[in-house]
Amino acid sequence: MTGIKELYQYRDLFCELVRKGIRLKYRRSYLGVVWSMIEPLLTMIVLTVVFGTLLGHHEKTFPVYILSGRLIYTLFSQSTTGALKSIRQNEGLIKKVFVPKLLYPLSSVAFNYVLFLISLVVLAGVSLVLGVYPTIKMLMAILPLIVLFFMSVGVGLILSTLGSFFRDLEYLWNVGLMLVMYASAIFYYPDAILESKVSWILSYNPLFCVISNFRSCIFGESMDMTMLGYSAGFAMTVLVVGYIIFEKNKNKFILHL
């Protein structure tokens, strides 16, 4: 409860850190935040051409399938990576004034969510152009997005804590994210893998569960409640574990900066 009260007391600083994160991300760019829409669109085109050709997927809605998965993965990747680096990137402020250290990883996740919400404009436009029209079930997409937020915060707290002591974790996490990407069925249909001996790779990947349910909502289908329950349980578990680890070690950060 003390941590929650501190976050509330420093809510203005939290908002400023979120704005700072957005500004720094595009500070040397002419198009600025517009890149949060252009980048996923260009990535979708490349992945559609490459994997649509290699895997023989020529369905009209395949670009929507790729884009929806790619956006979720990018959000998780950038949020957790930003949280991992957040303590070291703000070492100057940490050494000078007292600020609840929880603000740094949390603001890293939050500003990436803001950019993600902007990029949803691209998903909406591509969906309409390719014939994927909005339905009432699309409103349920907020549930996997909430799950993903708590999952990103939990993983981010663990990474920011460990990353403060072990700098090499940044490089290891990049490798880990690559493995997560290939195990999340972003640019291929999961049917073939789910019927093979390595189906557990997808079944036990909570990010795949989030992506699958988000796609279901976009395409007007019902969510898999088992996947939703599993990913939500994982998110809450990692959030609690991450918070405990962070709180127990936060006063040691300054000794390793």
Residue 63 belongs to what domain range?
2-256
77 pLDDT more than 90: yes
Distances (CA, A) of 176 to 6, 75, 80, 162, 204: 33, 15, 11, 15, 15
145 Cβ contact partners less than 8 Å away, ≥ 6 residues apart:
214
Both tokens assigned to 17: 């850190």
| Bigger pLDDT: 94 vs 152 | 152
Instruction: Write out pLDDT tens, residues 18-76.
Output: 888 888 777 776 666 677 788 888 888 888 888 877 777 778 888 999 999 999 999 99
Q: On the CB side of 74, how many CA atoms lie within 13 Å of its CA?
A: 21
pLDDT at 96: 81
Q: How confident is the model at residue 3 (pLDDT cuts 50, 70, 90)?
A: low
- b/e map 48-87, b = 16+ CB within 10 Å: beebbeeeebeeeebbbbbbbbbbbbbbbbbbbbbbbbbb
Instruction: Write out pLDDT tens, residues 118-150.
Output: 889 999 999 999 988 888 999 999 999 999 999
Q: What mean pLDDT comes out for the span 7-25? A: 82
Q: Which of 257, 253, 256, 255 is nearest to 100 (CA)?
A: 253
Average model confidence (pLDDT) across the chain = 87
Instruction: Tell me which of 47-56, 146-155, 217-226 is least confident.
Output: 47-56
Distances (CA, A) of 67 to 49, 57, 60: 13, 14, 13
Question: pTM value?
Answer: 0.90
Cβ pair 111, 18 in contact under 8 A: yes
pLDDT at 1: 60
Cβ pair 223, 87 in contact under 8 A: no
pLDDT at 211: 95
| Alpha-helical regions (H) of the chain | 2-9, 11-25, 35-54, 62-89, 91-96, 103-129, 142-165, 169-182, 191-194, 200-203, 206-218, 225-249
Q: How confident is the model at residue 177 (pLDDT cuts 50, 70, 90)?
A: very high
Q: What mean pLDDT comes out for the span 158-169? A: 90
pLDDT at 113: 93
Q: What mean pLDDT comes out for the span 162-168? A: 87
- The Cβ of residue 216 has, within 10 Å, a number of other Cβ atoms equal to 21
pLDDT at 52: 77
Question: Would you put residue 185 in left (φ > 0), alpha (ψ -120 to 50) or beta?
Answer: left
Percent of the chain predicted with pLDDT > 70: 93
Number of domains into which the chain is organized: 1
Q: What mean pLDDT comes out for the span 73-102? A: 87
